[in-house]
A and B are shown apart, each in its own frame.
Chain A
Amino acid sequence: MLTLEFMYHAFAAAGIVAILTGFIGYFLLLRREAFAGHALSHIGFAGATGASLLGMSPFSGLLIFSLFAGGLIGFIGPRLKDHDVAIGLVLSASMGLGLLFLHFYTHYAIQVTSLLFGNIFSVDLVILYDLIGLALFCLIIMLFFMRPLLFASLQPDLAETRGISLRWVSIIFLMLVACITVACVQVTGILLTFSLMIGPAAVARQWIKTVWNGIFASVFLAILEAWGGIIASWYTDLPVSFWISFLSFEIYLISLILSKFKKKM
C-alpha cells in the first residue's frame, strides 16, 4: 500500500484536512453552530456547479460561494441557534440551485460526483501544495484569532462588555469554516464534511474537560478516522468517504454508549 505515490499523497492530504477539521470542529460545537457548518458545505455546492457552468474551476466557485455564505450567515446573527429555519431553507435552496446548474451542464457529472463525495486518490502534488498553503493560512488565522473566539464562544455577553464584536467574531469564524470546508472537499466531499468536522469534536468534547486537550483529542480522532478510512478502503475496495463517515459515526456511537454507561455507574 505504501509503495504507491498516490497513497502517500492521500495520507498526507487526509492528515492535513483532519488537523483542520478536528480543530475547527471543536469550536463549531462550542459555539453550537454545527448546523451552520453543515449548511456551509452544501451552500458551496451551488457555487461549484455554477462555476462549472460558467467554464470556471468548480473549486474557485466553491471557495467564493462558501466564503460569501459564511460571511453572510455570520453577519445575519451571531447567535445562530435562532436562525435554524433560515439556514435550512438557504441550504436546500442552494442544493436545488446546484442541481439546476448540473442539469444545464451534464459534462461535469464526474467532477461533480467527486465534489459531492470526494476523491482522495486523485490528489497530486499540485493539489497537495495548494492544500498545505490553504491549511497554513487557516491555522495561522485560527491561532491568531483563538483567544477572542474562545471567550466570545463561551461567554458572549461578557465578551461584549470587554469590547469584542460578536458579529465580527461570527463572520471571521464562519469564513474560516468555509475555507476548511473547501479544503475538505477533496477528501470527504461536500456531503460528508460533517463527519470529519463534527464527529471527532463531539467525542472529544464528551470526554475531555479542558480546551487544549479537547482540541488535541478532536484532531487525533479526526486523523484516526481519515487514515482509518483510507486503509479500510484499500482493503475493502469501498469508497474512502463511506469509511470515514462510517468510522466517525461508529466512534461517536461507542462514545455515546460509554458515556451513558458511565453515568449509570
Chain B
Amino acid sequence: MSILACNKLSIQIGNHLILSDLSLSIDEPQFIGVFGPNGAGKTSFMKTLLGILPVKSGLLQILGKNPRQARKKIAYIPQQQETNNLHLTGRAFIASSIRGNHLGIPLVTSKDKREIDHVLEYVDAKDLANLSLSEMSGGQKQRILLAQALLGNPEFIILDEPFNNLDPKWVKIILSLIKNIQQEKQIVVLLSAHDINPLIPVMDQVLCLGNQAAVLGKVDTIITTKVLTELYGFPIQVIKVNHTCFVTTFFN
C-alpha cells in the first residue's frame, strides 16, 4: 500500500488551475522537501492532501484512504500562525486542540495532561509548558507546534514553510528535531521551504512544483542547475563542494 498515491491529480481554485495530471507515489517513510516558486501551489497541494481543498479530477489516496478519512492520522503545521498576541501558555495552547472537533466543554483530563507532557518531553520543550506564547521566540513556538502535531501519533506530518522568520541556528535545531521524529516514528514528513540549502542533508526525496506540474525524485537528480532554473524560470546554480550541494543565484 502506498503512503501517498496521486494518479492524474488536478487541483483547481476558482478558475485557476494549480496542478494538472500529477502522478506520483510515496511508498515508504521518508523526509520530503517541497519547493517551488511563489504561487506554484505548494500550500494548495498540502491543503488538498488534508482534504481542505477538493480534488478537481484524478485519484488521491493518503494512508490508503481518501484525504478526509485519513486526516485523523495526518498532523499539520500551517504557514505563519498568528500567535504574537497570545498570552496563553504553551500547554494551554496545545490542550486547545485536544478533541477540538467535538462539541462540549474543553476540560483537560489527567490522561490528556500525560499525553501533553509526553509530546512536550519528546520535542525537549518541557520548560516551555508554562511560558506564554507571546514571550517565546520563533524557534520556541515551532517546538510547541511540533509537540502539538505529535498528539494522537500521526503517521504523516505536513509542515508548510515552518522556517519563515527563523534564524539559521533555530532552522538547524528544528530541522534536526523533525528528522529525528521522522526516523524514530517511521513516518512521512512533507516540508515546504524557500531556502533549499539547510534541507539538503536531511531530505530523502525532493518534490518540486511549478508550471502546474510536479517532479519527485532523489536530491541528486532534482537539485541540479538545469531542473531548478527551469522550475523557477530564473537562473539558479547548484554548486558541489566536497560532496555537499549549495544552491545559489547569479548576480551580475
Contacts and interface: CB of A to CB of B under 8 A. Distances in A.
Contacts of A158: 76, 78, 97
Nearest to A81: B82
Given A159-B100, A162-B100, A150 B106 contact: yes
Interface residues of B, number: 30
Contacts of A163: 51, 68, 71, 101
B88 A147 contact: no
A9 to B, nearest CB: 30
Interface residues of A, number: 28
A64 interface: no
A32 B83 CA distance: 12
Nearest to A155: B97
Contacts of B101: 148, 151, 159, 162-164
Contacts of B81: 155, 157
Contacts, number: 84
The winner among A145, A150, A164 for most chain B CB atoms within 10 A is: A150
Nearest to B77: A158
B76 A161 contact: yes
Nearest to B100: A151
Interface stretch (A91-99, A206-214, A246-254): A206-214
Interface in B51-99: 51-52, 68, 71, 74, 76, 78, 81, 85-89, 91-93, 95-97, 99
Interface of B: 50-52, 68, 71, 74, 76, 78, 81, 85-89, 91-93, 95-97, 99-106, 130, 132
Shortest 10 CB-CB contacts between residues of A and residues of B:
A151-B100, A157-B78, A162-B101, A161-B50, A147-B106, A209-B89, A210-B92, A154-B96, A209-B132, A150-B96
Interface of A: 32, 143-148, 150-152, 154-155, 157-164, 205-211, 214
